[in-house]
Every structure is written in C-alpha cells, then in structure tokens.
Structure 1
Amino acid sequence: MSSAGTSGGLKRLIRIDVISDTICPWCFVGKKRLDKAMEETKDLCNFEVRWHPYMLDPSLPKEGRDKNEFHRRKFGSRLQAVVDNIDQAFQSVGYRFGSGGLIGNSLDSHRLIELAGRQGLDKQNAVVENLMIKCLTQQKCVSDREVLLSVAESAGIEGAKEWIDNPNAGLKEVQAKMEKYAHTISGVPHFKINDKYEMSGAQAPQTFIEIFKQASQDEE
C-alpha cells in the first residue's frame, strides 16, 4: 500500500496499530469487525495494519492448560454466561467460539508474528488471523510448535522453523513492545489510528468507519 492524499480523488492512507493477544477472544472479534470496517471503506481509504504483542497471562505454561478449567477459575459462577456472550459475538462475525482444548503461553506466537511483520504486513495479518482461528475456534493450543509451523507455512513465512526453535529469536523486540504497552494501555484489543485516535475493546464496525472518515479528512 502506498500513501495517498485526499486531493484529486486519491485515497488517504490510514495507519492502524493493533495491540492484541492471540489467546484473547475479544481480540479476534475486534479484528473481524475491523476487517469489515476496512472492507466497507476501501473506496475511501488505503490501510496499513501492524500487530503488536500483549500477554494477558504470561504465567500460562507452554504445554498448556485445560481451557475450560482455566476459564472456570477466572470467571467462577459466571463462566457459562461469559462463554455464551463470547460465542454470540463470534457468531456475529461468522464463527463459533471453541471453548475446549488447551490454552497455552502465547509468547512464541508473538515471536512468530514479529517474524511475519518483517516479511510484510499482509503476511503478518495472515499469521494473526490463522493463529486466532486455530486457537479460538478450532480448539488448538497456540503454543503448540506444530500449530505455529502450520500457520507459518500457510502464510508463506520464510525461516519459521529455525525462528520458532530458537527461543531468543525476536524475544528482545517482543519483550520491549510488551513492556511499553503494559504501561500505556489497560487492556486488549487496543487500536491506534494514525497515531491520533485510540480505543480499546471489540468496537462495532461503524465506530471504526466513523473514525476512518474523520481521519481521511485530517490534514497531513
């Protein structure tokens, strides 16, 4: 995508930074709603989306924990209502929430997203999409090496095996970003648009659309 001004009918470039965690259901809902908003305004704007790391629970083990038990401990008697609410949101974007399986430490997934970003934003977006689908709808464990390699292969990521197998690859960069966001945001998903507009939570498509329209009129 190349930058364009608004004069002469040229489309304006909208830069979107998304802070998210691959094990976060609402991050997936937020992503799909963002996708819909971008699709509906593609004649008005070009988009450049970058994904940034956040870990909701760094204490999760790499081998994973039972997802139902993890959520039961977190939500207690509210568990079923929480799961039903998430599933309803997933259905609104064309998916069903996979509440079973294992939930694992998301650090390696963020390292893979870091690698993908170095090879192109489209590849990075594909990795984020596929990781979330596998983890949140297909009940795969996001820390599973084979899941990570499968996602990397489907997105055409070069050098993924060596990267994933080296626990230090991209670690410093990912940790620095997570440290930054730990002090600047209160939760995920968090969206920053053109370094000017910010919002947290799985916003409705129309909310994004209104901001895109406003941003397209801002002076550069």
Structure 2
Amino acid sequence: MANSALDNSVKKLIKIDVSSDTVCPWCFVGKKNLEKAMEQMKEQFDFEVRWHPFFLNPSAPKEGIKKSEFYEQKFGARQCAQILSRMSEIFRGLGLEYDMSGLTGNTLDSHRLITFAGHQGYDKQNALVSELFFNYFCEGKYIGDSQVLLDAAAKVGVEGAAELLGDPNNGLEEVNQEVEKYSANISGVPHFVINGKYKLSGGQPPETFLKAFQVAGKESSS
C-alpha cells in the first residue's frame, strides 16, 4: 500500500483543455483516441480533461433538422454519401456504429449542461460528453431535445440539470465566457491544448497524443 501511495505521489499532472462541439464527429473520434493514449500512460501521469464550447453552426435551428437533409444541403448528395461511408468506417474502427438518423441543430443547451457539469467534477463532465456523443452519433438522438439532455445528465449523475435547462439564460454568460477564452481564436474542432502550451487539432491518432504527453511531462514541474 505504501509503495502504491508513493507511486501516485510522483505522478505528473497533465491538463488537457478541449474545445469541441457536440455535433462534431471528429470530436468524438478525438476523444476516443485521447482516452486510448491516456490509458497507455496512466501509470506515468495523472490527467485532467476539461471540455469547452465551440459552435460549428451558431445559427442552427433549435427545433432541429434531419441530419441527412442538413448534410445533403451543405455538401451535396455525392459528397454526403462519401462522408457517411468514411465516418462509418472510422467509427467501426472504434467499435461504434455511426448513425445518420435523427435531427441535428442548435447545440447551445448541450454546452450549457456540459459547462455546468464541470463544476461537479471533470470526470463527471467527461462522462456527460461521452454520453451525449454516443446519443447523437450512435443512437440517433437529438441533443437539442431537453429530455435527451436530462436523461444523459441523470445517467452520469449530474445534479440540478432540470433547473439549469428550465431557464434558457442559466449558464449562458459562462458559456459565452468559455467561448471567448478557449475557442475564439480557433477555426475548427476538436482543438486540444495540453498543459496550456501544446496544441493539437483534429481527430488525432493515439500516437500523436502519446508524443505530446511525453514532451509535456518532461517540461512539467508538477
């Protein structure tokens, strides 16, 4: 037991800030690959992952639009089919089934909830982000639907979600502050900042995160 406590005491902490949107498939892929890398390095480092809002489509309608319809309008039928094929293959590689059914739309409420969850612990926030990604990309659920958000919050143990979501102004200022602080100067997501210094963008493979951890760990004094 003493040796275990000693081992833990000498671990260095790596902090990871992630800017992400809940309707971004590469954000889900990036999260999965980040977690693979963290699992490989868990004996060497402790990790703290914090999620911050980004809006791919700030003017998206709250009532939602069919995913298939939205993507065909945005990319055209041929490119949409190519994207679906590629994402399906990538998700299968992660042990997931990519689901294009259901609605897409405004993600503000999901970001209000994720930001709120961070105050109850970053592990809980991470669990909520995972649940919402899975709901949206693998189960065809619409994360603009308050009941979907409430169910996800209940599943991972986020308290006070109904009160938060019941008022559209709750948490709004904090989300805007988060966007300004973490996401205003980036053009795409996912965007990872490791120990406030090392920046990575896109659905990077686990190996890229491993290299960044090693560099950050050598320079960390914590």
TM-score (norm 1): 0.93
The verdict on how the C-alpha distance between 1:194 and 1:209 changes in structure 2, with shifts beyond 3 A counting, is: same
- Contact 2:12–2:220 (CA under 8 A) maintained in structure 1: no
The verdict on how the C-alpha distance between 1:12 and 1:143 changes in structure 2, with shifts beyond 3 A counting, is: same
* Match of residue 217 from structure 2: 216
In structure 1, what residue type is equivalent to 2:164?
A: W
Deviates more, 1:96-105 or 1:11-20: 96-105
What CA distance in whole angstroms lies between the structure 2 residues aligned with 1:61 and 1:88?
A: 29
Q: State how 1:75-90 maps to structure 2 within 5 Å.
A: 75-76=75-76, 77-90=78-91
CA shift, 1:50, in A, is 0.2
* Match of residue 116 from structure 1: 117
CA shift, 1:219, in A, is 4.3
* Match of residue 52 from structure 1: 52
* Match of residue 3 from structure 1: none
* Match of residue 93 from structure 2: 92
What CA distance in whole angstroms lies between the structure 2 residues aligned with 1:78 and 1:25?
A: 16
Aligned identity (percent) is 50
Aligned residues: 214
CA shift, 1:179, in A, is 3.4
CA shift, 1:9, in A, is 8.1
Matched position secondary structure for 2:170: coil
Alignment gaps of 5+ in structure 1:
1-6
* Match of residue 69 from structure 1: 69
Q: What does the per-residue CA deviation read over 1:11-38, in whole Å, with 9 as the maximum and x for residues that have no partner?
A: 1100000000001111000000001110
CA shift, 1:157, in A, is 1.1
- Contact 2:58–2:106 (CA under 8 A) maintained in structure 1: yes
* Match of residue 127 from structure 2: 126
Alignment gaps of 5+ in structure 2:
1-6
In structure 1, what residue type is equivalent to 2:80?
A: L
What CA distance in whole angstroms lies between the structure 2 residues aligned with 1:180 and 1:11?
A: 28
Q: State how 1:131-150 maps to structure 2 within 5 Å.
A: 131-150=132-151
Matched position secondary structure for 1:192: strand
In structure 1, what residue type is equivalent to 2:51?
A: W
CA shift, 1:182, in A, is 4.8
In structure 1, what residue type is equivalent to 2:69?
A: E
CA shift, 1:125, in A, is 0.4
- Contact 2:16–2:50 (CA under 8 A) maintained in structure 1: yes
TM-score (norm 2): 0.93
Q: State how 1:187-202 maps to structure 2 within 5 Å.
A: 187-202=188-203
The verdict on how the C-alpha distance between 1:106 and 1:195 changes in structure 2, with shifts beyond 3 A counting, is: same
* Match of residue 35 from structure 2: 35
The verdict on how the C-alpha distance between 1:167 and 1:213 changes in structure 2, with shifts beyond 3 A counting, is: same
The verdict on how the C-alpha distance between 1:170 and 1:82 changes in structure 2, with shifts beyond 3 A counting, is: same
Q: What does the per-residue CA deviation read over 1:164-196, in whole Å, with 9 as the maximum and x for residues that have no partner?
A: 111111100101222344531110000000011
Matched position secondary structure for 1:31: helix
What CA distance in whole angstroms lies between the structure 2 residues aligned with 1:174 and 1:27?
A: 18
Matched position secondary structure for 2:152: helix
In structure 2, what residue type is equivalent to 1:136?
A: F
In structure 2, what residue type is equivalent to 1:48?
A: E
Matched position secondary structure for 2:83: helix
